Amino acid sequence: METQQQKNAGLEKIKDMVDDIRIAMMTTQDEQGNLVSRPMACMQMDADGTLWFFTKKSSPKVAQVEQHDDKVNLSFADAGDSDFVSISGSAQELDDRAKIDELWSDMAKPWFPNGKDDPELTLLKVHTELAEYWDSNDSRLVRLFEMARAAVTGDTYKEGENVKVTN
């Protein structure tokens, strides 16, 4: 995955975390109003905080994005390091062959066996509107010690850094 230095300095930490995690759960709303999520590999986070994904034109998520005001949520999680990112934004299906060429890698081939010229291949572009992250900054052992300390003392567990960023 390619990440670019962010024009919005507040998104720099988000970029670093997304780059490390790479797989997001993308949540959309289905025809009955249910929230539905699926794993998606992020291909790029560009300098404007826009995240790029490959998908199929016939995928239900493309229709769901169009039917529900383009709103999506992306959740990235690395439970082992206690790093979590939530991104709310607007999504758009975009058939941009130049951008597909730029982002194409062999990692996408299992989903698109006909390659980057597959007529079903399209892009989902998600513009970040609000992002929030949780970063423990500590090892698992330190986190366990802090949980035990909080349980014994009756104090609140100190989870680490939690920041909201608007774009």
The pLDDT, as a whole number, for residue 136 is 76
Interstrand relation of 71-78 and 83-94 (parallel, antiparallel or unpaired): antiparallel
Q: Are 126 and 74 in contact (CB under 8 A)?
A: yes
Q: What is this structure's pTM?
A: 0.82
* Segment 127-136, tens digit of pLDDT: 999 999 998 7
Nearest to 124 by CA among 69, 50, 14: 50
Q: What is the C-alpha to C-alpha distance for residues 23 and 62, in angstroms, rounded to an integer?
A: 18
Confidence check: pLDDT of 6 > 80: no
Q: Which of helix, strand or coil describes residue 87?
A: strand
Confidence check: pLDDT of 64 > 70: yes
Q: Are 91 and 70 in contact (CB under 8 A)?
A: yes
Confidence check: pLDDT of 57 > 90: yes
Q: Which of helix, strand or coil describes residue 107?
A: helix
What region does 22 belong to: left with phi over 0, alpha with psi -120 to 50, or beta? left
Name all domains of the chain by residue range, CATH numbers in brackets: 2-166 (2.30.110.10)
Confidence check: pLDDT of 159 > 90: no
Mean pLDDT, the chain, integer: 87
Most confident of 27-31, 66-70, 147-151: 27-31
